[in-house]
Structure 1
């Protein structure tokens, strides 16, 4: 796969990020840590600086930023090829320059949101309400942002896990973006779990349409179904699960591992660890684990694994904990 190819979904992610940074950097409560993170994001790709500059021009012209806000200057950049603005940017720029009521026009044309929200949960579960009336429960170490456009509601799950109860609006679809895929609904209850480039969608009520990066049409889920995909997958893997409630146990602070291989369990466990747990080899990955644990005490779970499984712990060069299978001694015959 050619990862250097510039695809529309990458453009959308960069636009979302530029909008996020534009808002945060002009907010009164913006922290030094956020500004440092912005600098790192800006330096990661020349397109980031281009998109941020375009966002500044559009929003400054529309007078959407506070009068007292200090414009965050961009660093001197290497020359880049002339950029063809997407219809979103060019049409918005023309409208904003031409009309006094630019913000209203941007909303009416579907270019600009009338509401932006950003939420994080660190070491506590958090329940939040979006501006459209939908509610979201955030798991530990989770983060998302919400933009309300005239023709659709957009959520980006940046990291972690969230349970959504979406206010029904058939003319105003609700779309959750995660790892180059999306879940599209009009009103329902569902869970989205994301770790690195992996995503799992669990439907509780109603129906949702799930698509991964390579499939524009998507697949419809019914209650009790799950869809899983990695970033770059052409289509998600679908499953009908009788015990899907295990995927929602985090809402009561529990991590349920029901006869999973360590290869399956580690992404779930690592979501709660500062440093990911590693597997020494495929043989170790095949060991199965069961149990119910507290999501607040996953670090302790790692320490107890050698007591309940045929494994021992070592450290890698970068300091990560590695699980190694204990190979039984050969029998003498």
Structure 2
């Protein structure tokens, strides 16, 4: 397909194909051949990738719809939402949910509002439908959905500072990796890189879980405390922040590396890069780095590292820069 603007018929066909691929890639019996075919389809036209990303967001909404169990399926694992159910969710999202099915809203299945926000190339401040204020770091993508019994944010990537509008009867939940942060009204920061998450509480109180499939409300943070977790962790690691903690320096456009090992610093650096930097070995990861950097100019940091650290750069077969410790 050419990369000229699509006709209405072509656009409809792309939307249908995006829904098909969304279902197939989430299916347990999806084959390698199908995944390859999907990659070829996605790369054939920019609109293909855009429609697929939009369909993934609709898929998130469909996860909260009920799963009816026919008599013949009792005792069997339930399948993902059907095409019909996904189509219903798609139609609702396309209308920005002004007329969400009344019964779906009343049962807490469907949101009555849905918003998606991105910050590409610059910091961004947004106001959610509930009045909460959110500051987005560069490269951040998040969605907001308002349900009858809770407000739900999904932090897909990046970092955000939340000033949550207080509502004790309507909790505010941030989903990040396999865990979540639950609040009613407070100020806190969430940083996510791949499956690593760091939550810093400034004001109020939050409950943090590292795996929302586990029972319990999670660990409670008080102001000045920080929780860290990654995929597979049973519970978060909790620590107290210090007076000049630099976790929130990004809000002023700065990345502060306070004598960190490269192993700890690279996740903070890589989240601003299109092509992440990798370490050659454990020895290289133990080299320490410090300094204050402009987050809009992190691209220039990597080539300068051999000038300030005992390292040299190479590249792997995929084109990723590799940091290697210099021989003594």
Q: Which runs of structure 2 are paired with 1:53-202 in the superposition (5 Å)?
A: 53-56=83-86, 58-59=88-89, 64=92, 103-202=101-200
Cα distance, 1:315 vs. partner? 1.1
**Does 2:287 align with 1:310?**
no
Change (3 A) 1:237 1:54: farther
SS of the residue aligned with 2:81? helix
Residues 125, 134 of structure 2: 8 Å contact kept = yes
1:252-281 superposed Cα distances (whole Å, 9 cap, x missing partner): 110000011000000000000111101011
Could you tell me whether the CA contact under 8 Å between 1:138 and 1:161 is conserved in 2? yes
Separation (CA, whole Å) in 2 of partners of 1:194 and 1:238: 16
Query: Could you tell me how far 1:224 is from its partner in structure 2?
Result: 1.1
Which residue in the other structure is 1:289 paired with? Answer: 289
Q: In structure 2, how many angstroms separate the alpha carbons of the residues matched to 1:215 and 1:66?
A: 33
Q: Is the 8 A contact 2:100 2:110 kept in 1?
A: no
C-alpha RMSD of matched pairs (Å): 2.7
C-alpha distance in 2 between matches for 1:323 and 1:243: 32
- Distance, in Å, in 2 between the alignment partners of 1:320 and 1:184 is 37
Change in Cα spacing, 1:64 to 1:215, as seen in structure 2 (3 Å) is closer
Q: Secondary structure of the residue that 2:258 maps to in structure 1?
A: strand
Q: 1:248 to 1:232 in 2, by over 3 A?
A: same
CA distance in 2, matches of 1:215, 1:307: 47
Deviations 1:164-217 (CA, angstroms, capped at 9, x unpaired) = 000011110000001010000000000000001110001011110000116432
In the other structure, the counterpart of 1:72 is none
Whether the aligned pair in 2 keeps the contact of 1:202 and 1:244 (CA below 8 Å) is no
The count of corresponding residues between Structure 1 and Structure 2 is: 261
Report the TM-score when normalising by structure 2: 0.74
Q: Kindly indicate whether the alpha-carbon contact (under 8 Å) linking 1:154 and 1:177 is maintained by their aligned counterparts in 2.
A: yes
**Structure 1 residues not aligned, in runs of 5+:** 1-13, 15-29, 68-100, 329-333
Question: What do the CA deviations read for 1:57-97 (whole angstroms, capped 9, x no partner)?
Answer: 5448xx74669xxxxxxxxxxxxxxxxxxxxxxxxxxxxxx
The 2-side partners of 1:285 and 1:57 are apart by 48
